[in-house]
Amino acid sequence: MTRTFETIALIGKFKNAEITVPLLKLADYLTTRGNQVLVDEFSASEKIAQSYQTSSLEKIAQQADLAIVIGGDGTMLNIARMLVSYDVPLIGINQGRLGFLTDLSLDNMLASLEEILSGHYDTEERILLSAEVSRAGICRFNNLAFNDVVLHRGVSSGMIEFEVRINGEYMNTLRSDGLIIATPTGSTAYALSAGGPILFPSLNLITLVPVCPHTLSNRPIVIGAEANIEINMRSSVNVGINCDSHAYFDLEQTDHIMIKRHPQTVRLLHPVNHSYYRMLREKLGWSEFP
């Protein structure tokens, strides 16, 4: 079932002057169509602010029927985490390098948007992870991850050690440089570099990918998205945790980490001819012939 999008928010890479021209082009186009346009106050240049209403992300989340994000995957990750609680669907226009999440190009964005806004689009729902760190029974860190939650060593040259449990059942004790807990969206990010599998983005799965494990038999494992992942630290020198390389927290030896699926999903809108496999070929340089 398609939705009607009356109020549309435009959000760009934070304080990036290069997005002024495409933002103005989009705002003019949407206004001509009869849509109400809201521009994120941190994305709007002085020129844009003179012509269009600017708002905070909080107000945009409450008022917008749709958000169009211009930037790279990092921009989309940040906006998705901020808007997920408000169930605002997202469209990504790529101005970065790879663009796994921002799949529309600047060259064809108006034609693609016309198709979507006319009701011809596919909706894709993607999961997020929630990570919580408890110390002495008190929550000390809580954040969301669209790509991945990463346990990592800092400047120390030594490996870190921790115990992993799935749904309360002991899985293993790992000595490594870290552990990546990734969503299907994040399977093409850091997890891919560490040897993890690519997961189709709409799957309800989570992958655990060790980073440089000391034992060669330690391999990535894929589990159901409803699983609860517990990590108990066994060493704490220069060890940290981050969500989407955005929110960081320094860990101590007695810390307990709980990672699970966030109850809400991010909704991405694509043109009807969107193909994930074609995107993989283009972004990863896969060839039709060996």
SS3 for 28?
Answer: helix
Rg (CA), the chain: 20
Burial grade of 273 (CB within 10 A; 0-12, 13-18, 19 or more): exposed
Has 73 been annotated as catalytic? yes
Helix (H, G, I), strand (E, B) or coil at 203: coil
C-alpha distances in angstroms, 67 versus 40, 76, 176, 232? 10, 10, 40, 39
Out of 73, 103, 148, 244, the active site residue is 73
Q: What is the distance between the alpha carbons of residues 113 and 33, in angstroms, rounded to a whole number?
A: 11
Q: How many other β-carbons are positioned within 10 Å of the β-carbon of residue 30?
A: 22
* CB 148 within 8 Å of CB 206: no
Among 72, 67, 76, 78, residue whose Cα is nearest residue 30: 67
User: How far is CA 54 from each of CA 9, 35, 76, 160, rounded to the nearest angstrom?
Assistant: 9, 15, 19, 46
Known catalytic residues are 73
